Amino acid sequence: MNLKLINIKSLGGVHKEGTKWLRGADLAHFPTIENAYLIIKEGKISSFGPMSNCPQDELPVQNCNGQHVMPAFVDSHSHLVYAGTREEEFNLRLKGASYEEIAAAGGGILNSAAKVSTSNIDELVGQAQFRLQNLIDYGTGTLEVKSGYGLDPENELKLLRAIKTLNKKSSATLIPTFLAAHALPAWAKAQGMDDASYTKYMLEQCLPILQSEGLALFLDGFIERDYFKLNALQHLIDASAQSGLPLKIHVNQFYDIGGIEMAVAAQALSVDHLEVMTPEAMNSLHGSNTIATLLPSCSYFLGIPYGPARDLIENDTVVALATDYNPGSSPGGNMQLVCNMACTKMKMTPAEVLNAATLNGAAALNLSDRKGSIAVGKDADLVITKEIPSLEYLCYDFGINHIQTTILGGHIQ
Ligand code: NIG
Ligand code: FE
């Protein structure tokens, strides 16, 4: 589809061609062109600039008078495909039970896994499709989606096949991750497996199938004191080296057990959560190419500390923002709200936040060459705002949707 957007009040995210990610002081600048045009041809951005340079070619025109345009959000950490919901656990937590206590009593991830095991692919796709449409309306164009509520080979593959089916049905770009180690299920304990041997088993069983069917682009594990420890991480590192699938690791959500240092040494693509940090973990990320993905809506919902965004930015670490959309720790996937929380709770500036939620999110999925900024040749995944004063206003006026139109692959949604 070809389209010419004209009279754009400001066009944001206009980074220098070839910019892969932004770190340190560079993160603080969200470059914009005032009073701009942008032309979409065959689903890609074909040209853009100030209105004074707008070509006269005969294309369908959309007048964006008073509206702003920026890249669609790239949400690089979610668990969008799950079955049912867990609001009964929300009630328990409000009465004082902790996330870990609920998990230890068979709730949490195990609760969601029980619901997945009795759902078929169509049901999983149907529920996730409903959630995804809301996210698109709120400006998300690309979304990483993890498995991890299967907890046995058959159900993990079912989740990954559901993600693949949903990706085909949707004009959003879904990036699948095999979350091989999320919680140790009862059947594995009964067979005498521990966290490490279960992780090894899951990787051995699933990797050949998911590679032959093209079901996952990344590997993940929940590296925590009470979930999967460093021996399990080592199996993930070995499987990543052998399969070529990069690592994105849940780590340092509740405790530090040295997972970040190990993941960074293994050149993980990203380490995600980071609510609990130590000087050693911070040092290992200094200037590294492993991206720190922060998830403020998880901190908000669980009442746990927020990731130390300011320290990480000053530490020359690449910081991305994502939703962690899942039924237990972040039952919401609104990137606009994440942007607001990153400002109010993590003291990031709106400009930093808009970069971290677009280009750095794309980098956390190895997609910087296609997504996350306004550049000629990139996918035309864009949002057109309502009539608001500025793009930064998206981060300021919270709780309502400031997006008028989402365009994905050049198509108005
Ligand atoms: O990223 N931390 C591990 N996994 C999810 C939560 C899973 C759940 O509670 O269902 C997360 O927060
Ligand atoms: Fe997560």
Which ligand 1 atom minimizes the distance to the CA of 82? 10
pLDDT tens-place string over residues 84-126? 999 999 999 999 999 889 988 889 999 999 999 999 999 999 9
Q: Ligand 1, residues 159, 326, 338: which to mutate, most atoms within 8 A of Cβ? A: 326
Ligand 1, residues at Cβ distance < 6 Å: 108-109, 112, 222, 250, 253, 298, 324, 326-329
58 pLDDT above the threshold of 90: no
pLDDT tens-place string over residues 209-246? 999 999 999 999 999 999 999 999 999 999 999 999 99
Give the distance (Å) from ligand 1 centre to CA of residue 185. Answer: 15
Indicate the pLDDT class of residue 1, thresholds 50, 70 and 90. Answer: confident
Angle between helices 230-243 and 195-212 (to 10 degrees): 20
Identify the nearest ligand to the CA of 300 by its number: 1
DSSP structure string for 177-209: EEEEES---HHHHHTT--HHHHHHHHHHHHHHH
Q: Number of helices and strands (H, E) in the chain? A: 16, 16
Identify the nearest ligand to the CA of 115 by its number: 1
3-class DSSP string for 66-109? CCEEEECEEECCECCCCCCCCHHHHHHHHCCCCHHHHHHCCCCH
What DSSP designation does 244 have?
A: -
Return the pLDDT at 106: 86
Which ligand 1 atom minimizes the distance to the CA of 108? 9
Q: How far apart are CA 301 and CA 73, in angstroms?
A: 21
Q: Ligand 1, residues 149, 222, 304, 306: which to mutate, most atoms within 8 A of Cβ? A: 222
Which ligand 1 atom minimizes the distance to the CA of 327? 10
Which ligand 1 atom minimizes the distance to the CA of 86? 10
User: What separation in angstroms does the CA of 44 have from each of 30, 182, 409, 411?
Assistant: 21, 37, 7, 10
79 pLDDT above the threshold of 90: yes
Identify the nearest ligand to the CA of 329 by its number: 1
Indicate the pLDDT class of residue 393, thresholds 50, 70 and 90. Answer: very high
What DSSP designation does 51 have?
A: G
* Residue nearest atom 8 of ligand 1, based on CA coordinates: 328
Q: Which of 198, 146, 203, 202 is nearest to 175 (CA)?
A: 146
Identify the structural domains of the chain with CATH numbers, from first to last: 3-71+373-412 (2.30.40.10), 74-363 (3.20.20.140)
The secondary structure of the chain in percent helix, strand, coil, rounded to multiples of 5, reads 40, 25, 40
Contact partners, residue 61, CB within 8 Å, separation at least 6: 3, 4, 5, 6
* Residue nearest atom 5 of ligand 1, based on CA coordinates: 329
Give the distance (Å) from ligand 2 centre to CA of residue 78. Answer: 6
Please, are residues 23 and 317 in contact by the beta-carbon 8 Å criterion?
yes
Q: How far apart are CA 62 and CA 13, in angstroms?
A: 20
141 pLDDT above the threshold of 90: yes
Contact partners, residue 39, CB within 8 Å, separation at least 6: 2, 3, 4, 5, 45, 46, 47, 48, 55, 57, 59
Give the distance (Å) from ligand 1 centre to CA of residue 329. Answer: 6
pLDDT tens-place string over residues 160-172? 999 999 999 999 9
Which ligand 1 atom minimizes the distance to the CA of 224? 2
Sign of CA dihedral 258, 147, 22, 297: negative
Q: Ligand 1, residues 250, 297, 299: which to mutate, most atoms within 8 A of Cβ? A: 250
Identify the nearest ligand to the CA of 182 by its number: 1
